[in-house]
Amino acid sequence: MRQFFLAIISLFLVTNISAQKVIKETKNNFNNFGTKITKVVIPSTGLIDLSIRDAVKKGWKISPYEFCSSQEYEKIKEDTSFYFLMRTDGIFGSEHEPRLEYLTLIKGGPEFRKGLFTSAEIISLPFQARGDESGHILPFIPAYLDIMQNYIYKVQKEIMLAFTGASSYGENLAGIKGMSILFNNTDIGFPTRKDELKWTFRGRAESVESEEIEKALYESTPDLVVSLVISTIGNPKGGYCYKLLIGTENHELFFFRKHKISSRLPAGFTKEEIKKISLPYQL
């Protein structure tokens, strides 16, 4: 029995030391982020990659940055003096191949030998369906960069946010009260009656075409929030769907959720989520 308790105590001490080491390393990664160079990987001259390049030039303020090619990235990816901003493929445990693409900020280091997703990831946001050539994400790219930078600032103030997963990227439904919301008419995942959104949000929300959302983002319209849904092409069962609400003026992330697509829950905002988002408007 004595040996059993000694084993338990030893296990607790080892676990505690390991946890403290992880916290310390994570704290250093975030607190030192602004002193390190962020390498922005631009693998092609395609429209999306060039849009990322342009958005970084205009809006990346949190750290010094340099652009690099995929070839250069392969040579320096284990260098711990760099962080990398890049497009990556994501795959879930039940999937046989990647279906979604992410915009990922990650630290260089030898852990790359174990694969990208076991490395020191800072933040990873769903970007688009793999193979999507629609350009739907283009007007959101500057907002994505601001969301990433705001997240780093938040974690620098409260390090434990780094261990709460995507839920810490941002959700502030209380702060959404008083703002108008534009939902893309393809982003609602259930049938709605005419003017149902307007009624639910007391006249402060409506379903619109994507062009109106793009216009609001480009013009940084104040007191306005827009929707974004990222899901696999064709919305196959077993795929995943992300739902975001983003402020058009300062790019605050007000809502961030994910669900697995099924016959009961197709891609898009669910009825329960719309009800939850509308609660501040009912008060």
- DSSP assignment string, 146-164: HHHHHHHHHHHH-GGGGGS
Residues 178 and 155 in one domain: no
Indicate the residue among 159, 187, 209 that finishes a domain.
159
Residue 78 token pair: 């284990």
The residue whose two tokens read 């109106």 is 212
Residues 126 and 187 in one domain: no
Q: Residue 125: what pLDDT?
A: 96
Give the single-character DSSP code of 111: G
C-beta separation of 202 from 282 below 8 A:
yes
C-beta separation of 163 from 24 below 8 A:
no
Q: Residue 167: what pLDDT?
A: 61
C-beta separation of 92 from 124 below 8 A:
no
Q: Residue 183: what pLDDT?
A: 97
Alpha-carbon span 163 to 22, nearest angstrom: 10
Residues 260 and 185 in one domain: yes
Alpha-carbon span 274 to 281, nearest angstrom: 11
Q: Residue 14: what pLDDT?
A: 36
- Which residue range(s) make up the domain with 272? 174-282
Residues 155 and 41 in one domain: yes
- Residue 142: name the closest of 125, 157, 120 by CA: 125
Mean pLDDT for each 10-residue chunk of the chain (283 residues)? 43 45 72 92 95 98 97 93 93 69 91 52 93 92 97 87 69 89 96 91 95 97 97 81 96 95 93 95 84
Q: Residue 126: what pLDDT?
A: 96
Residue 155 token pair: 């974690």
Q: Residue 45: what pLDDT?
A: 92
Q: Residue 199: what pLDDT?
A: 93
Q: Residue 169: what pLDDT?
A: 72
Residues 223 and 109 in one domain: no
Residues 74 and 154 in one domain: yes
| Residue 136 DSSP SS3 | coil
